[in-house]
Amino acid sequence: MDFINLPVLLFSILLTISILTSLLSSRIGIPLILAFLCMGLAVSAGHIEMLQSLHRPGIIFFIGSVALAMILFDSGFHTAMKNYRQNAKPALLLSTVGVVMTTVILAPFVHFLMDIGWAFSFLLVAMISSTDSAAVFSLLRSKGLGLREKVKSTLEIESGTNDPMAIFLTLSFIFIIQQQLSNQSVQYGFLLPTLLEQAFIGGLFGLGSALLIKVLLNKIPLDTALYPIFVLGLTLLCFSTTNLMKGSGFLAVYIAGLILGNTRIQAYAQISKFQQTMTWLCQITMFTCLGLFVTTDGLPQIWNVGFLLSILLMLVARPVMVFSILHYFKQFTIGDKLFISFVGLRGATSFLLALMPIVLGLPYANVFFDIIFIMVLISLAVQGFMIPIVGRWCGVTIPVLETAPITTQIDLPGLGDSSLIMYQLDEQTPVILGEKIPRWAKPTLVLRNGICYPAGTGLRQLKAGDKVYIFLSSELQRPVLDKLFGRPSCEEMILRGDFPISAHTTFEELEHLYGISVDRGIRSSTISDLFQQEFADVEIGDRLVLDAIELVVHTIEDGHVNTVGIDFDPKGKNSIHSHIKLLSLKNLKKSLTSPKKMVK
């Protein structure tokens, strides 16, 4: 029975080590998928006989395709629809036109460095043209940082929707190369119709699958534990059927996940947790298998090419593409554009596409795979380590709570958006320091010294060490609860200014209170007016530099700034953001006296 026990033993060891690797990743700040990849590479270098079957590209391609489909479904499932309404246009342009631009910009460098035909040059770049933001957000979470909503949603949508375009370009150049190798005349007229056909069929099947899954979930009474498995089966059915109908299966599952994640469905909480678990398992399996497939014998010969192309991709192709597209969207600052340019990490899709030429037996196939392996490795290592630093420098990161609250979804009829949220209180929690609690935010249950105190049992005062459970009827209440019961990181006090003031304060009053110098043209304007003029879509954390102080947005109501914080030492921050806004303020007088509508 060793032929059964030994593979199971090896798989269980690899899986356990992969999970434990997350502890190391959070401590030293490396992307988890890089750790999974390196672990597979290390095992592959050991030449274990029972793993030789995984060196068959067809098997790896099958595993990777299924895993990527599940990852894309989960990506859509956990993307809020409001992000699409706010940032769909720039993100979708980055994921479509941006992929084409990246290919066009980098292909001449490949042609020059490798001295290969143009079709092969474009093929190599097309395979590396899509991004993978999963590593970005896991790194930021491990560092206790989040991204401003505008930047975060743009990266989420881009990374979730750029895979179909990269796949289409790869298949197109493979077809062109096959025609050239068979001495046939190359037909280019089919490219655009094929792209539109794949996108249309993929979108149609994704929409239809989402509606079908929603109806089945809400109409068929199943055991609660079976709903996530039911969704898994229907997701794979959507993926395979769309591909058989010549559509984009990856686009279909992403759209299906996006629609389902933003509608009320039965057992939403169980499905959400199951999808997150499956995504982790898929990432571990896929990247470990890809690491096992890599052979280190050919890497020394082409590492210099992979290194140069990585630098050109990070410092030339990606920035030129991002700045060219986002130039037409005024809500993005220079810091936003720099950060979006920097975080174009390469990952799962690039490896998967690199297997296609190997499966089809094309020339340079193994060389291309090794080059892409080096490029992905460098991207994850260099960009992965520097993302938190670059994020702070560009002024796009915002702090998150040091101790994240535990949320339990309430899956009852009529309470689809409700949840029970738990906060651990300490000496620095605002409610312990005397902050008043609104009536709707009163704890439902308090756990103190192992004893439960339900609401109305006479417990009058909260203490440090208490665990409070609060009924959350809508996610719109979450920011207020986080401010009352959560402990902000020390960095939040720096990023949010020293103390809050009303944004309806005029600059004449501000000048009188703090002795700063204010231009006459803006003295009668309020702080809210100024932010409305400077930012097309103002967000919490946005900043404006004014003489010796810096104004930081604290709260927003109905799209207008309500309160701001004052930072009396903006020059001390290691941030490009303040310098950008300082430059833009040179034109404030002209902007405020223009015929644009002012905020009342």
Q: Residue 598: inside a domain, yes or no?
A: no
How high is the pLDDT of residue 578? 39
- For residue 597, tell me if it sits in a domain: no
Query: How many other C-beta atoms are found inside a 10 Å radius of the C-beta of residue 461?
Result: 7
Whole-number pLDDT of residue 137:
61
The average pLDDT across 125-148 equals 72
Same domain? For 271 and 366 the reply is: yes
Distances (CA, A) of 156 to 88, 329, 344, 430, 472: 10, 17, 11, 32, 26
Domain containing 467 equals 406-488
- Would residue 599 count as lying in a domain? no
Same domain, 507 and 463: no
Q: What is the pLDDT of residues 174-194, one digit of tens each?
A: 999 998 888 877 777 778 888
Cα dihedral 122, 124, 127, 133, rounded to 10, equals: -110
- Last-in-domain residue among 371, 398, 425: 398
Domain of residue 422, CATH code: 3.30.70.1450
How far is residue 436's CA from residue 203's CA, in Å, rounded to a whole number? 49
Whether the predicted pLDDT of 411 surpasses 80: no
Please determine, for residue 598, whether its predicted confidence score (pLDDT) is greater than 60: no
Percentage of residues in the chain with pLDDT exceeding 70? 79
Residue 529 lies in a domain: yes
Report helix, strand or coil for 246: coil
At residue 453, does pLDDT exceed 80? Answer: yes
* pLDDT at residue 138, rounded to an integer: 62
Q: Which of 49, 21, 42 has its CA nearest to residue 33?
A: 21
Look at the alpha carbons of 81, 82, 85, 90 in this order and tell me if their dihedral is positive or negative. Answer: negative
**Cα–Cα distance, 67 to 322 (Å, whole number):** 28
Residue 440 forms part of a structural domain: yes
Residue 530 is assigned to a structural domain of this protein: yes
Regarding whether 434 and 369 lie in a shared domain, the answer is no
> Within 13 Å of residue 233, how many CA atoms lie on the same side as its CB?
7
Asked if 364 and 480 sit in the same domain, the reply is: no
pLDDT at 96: 93
**Are 323 and 377 in the same domain?**
yes
Choice between 447 and 435, residue whose per-residue pLDDT is larger: 447
Residue 49 confidence class, pLDDT cut points 50, 70, 90: low
Contacts 24+ apart (CB under 8 A), 368-373: 368/123, 368/124, 368/127, 369/294, 370/294, 370/298, 370/299, 370/302, 370/306, 371/124, 371/302, 371/305, 371/306, 371/309, 372/124, 372/127, 372/128, 372/306, 372/346, 373/294, 373/299, 373/306
Count of CB atoms situated within 10 Å of the CB of 225: 10
Domain end among 488, 516, 531: 488
Q: Is residue 449 over pLDDT 90?
A: no
What pLDDT is recorded for position 403?
A: 55
Q: Is the pLDDT of residue 283 over 80?
A: yes
Q: Is 417 found in the same domain as 308?
A: no
Q: Which of 488, 508, 528 is the last residue of a domain?
A: 488
CATH number at residue 515: 3.30.465.10
Rounded CA gap, 575 and 384, in Å? 19
Can you give 160-199 as a three-state secondary structure string?
HHCHHHHHHHHHHHHHHHHHHHCCCCCCCCCHHHHHHHHH
pLDDT average, residue stretch 408-414:
57
Say if residue 585's pLDDT is above 50. no
Do 169 and 102 touch, CB atoms closer than 8 A? no
340 and 413 housed in the same domain? no
| Residues 174-180: contacts with CB under 8 Å, at least 24 apart | 174/123, 174/356, 174/357, 174/360, 174/362, 176/119, 177/119, 177/120, 177/123, 177/362, 178/360, 178/362, 180/117, 180/119
| Nearest in space to 140 (alpha carbons), one of 475, 413, 398 | 398
Query: Per-residue confidence at 574, pLDDT binned at 50, 70, 90?
Result: very low
Q: Three-state SS string across 61-88, please?
A: HHHHHHHHHHHHHHHHHCCCHHHHHHHH
**Which residue type occupies 443?**
P
Distance CA 376, CA 369 (A): 10
Asked if the structure places residue 132 within a domain, the reply is: yes
Per-residue confidence band for 589, with pLDDT thresholds at 50, 70 and 90: very low
Weakest-pLDDT range from 169-173, 195-199, 418-422: 418-422
Confidence label for 493 from pLDDT (cuts 50, 70 and 90)? very low
Number of domains in the chain: 3
Q: For residues 196 and 259, state if they share a domain.
A: yes
Number of residues assigned to the chain: 600
Given a cut of 90, whether residue 238 has pLDDT beyond it is yes
Is the same domain home to 55 and 143?
yes
C-alpha 593, offset from chain centre: 39
* pLDDT value, residue 15: 81
Q: CATH number of the domain that 360 lies in?
A: 1.20.1530.20
Answer yes or no: is 564 within a domain. Answer: yes
Whole-number pLDDT of residue 549: 72
At residue 408, the pLDDT reads: 63
pLDDT digits (tens, 9 = 90+) for 542-555: 777 776 677 888 77
Per-residue pLDDT tens for 53-88?
A: 666 888 888 988 999 899 889 988 988 777 677 788
pTM of the predicted protein model: 0.73
User: Residues 484, 499: one domain?
Assistant: no
Same domain, 539 and 468: no
Please tell me whether residues 192 and 177 are part of one structural domain.
Answer: yes
Q: State the chain's mean pLDDT as an integer.
A: 80
Give mean pLDDT, residues 322-339.
91
